Amino acid sequence: MHAEAYPTTADSVGVRWWVDRETLRSAMQRDGRYLLVTNDFTLWPQRMLELYRAKDGLEKRFQVSKQNLLVRPFYVHSDERIEGLLLINMLALLVYSLLERQARRKGLAITTRRLIEQLDNLSIIETYCWDGSVLYRLTPVNRAQAELITILSEVVNEVSIPHVPLARGDDVGRVRLWPLAPPLARLAVAEMD
pLDDT reported for residue 176: 46
DSSP track, 74-143: ----SHHHHHHHHHHHHHHHHHHHHHHHHHHHTT----HHHHHHHHTT--EEEEE-TTS-EEEEE----H
- Split at pLDDT 50, 70, 90, the class of 2 is confident
pLDDT reported for residue 190: 56
| Chain segment 153-190, per-residue pLDDT in tens | 888 777 666 555 555 554 444 444 445 555 555 555 55
Nearest CA among 188, 107, 106, 108 for reference residue 145: 188
Give the burial class of 108: count Cβ atoms within 10 A of its Cβ; 0-12 exposed, 13-18 middle, 19 or more buried. Answer: middle
What are the residue ranges spanned by the domains of the chain?
A: 121-162+174-193
pLDDT reported for residue 172: 47
Mean pLDDT of 89-98: 83
pLDDT reported for residue 34: 67
- Split at pLDDT 50, 70, 90, the class of 74 is low
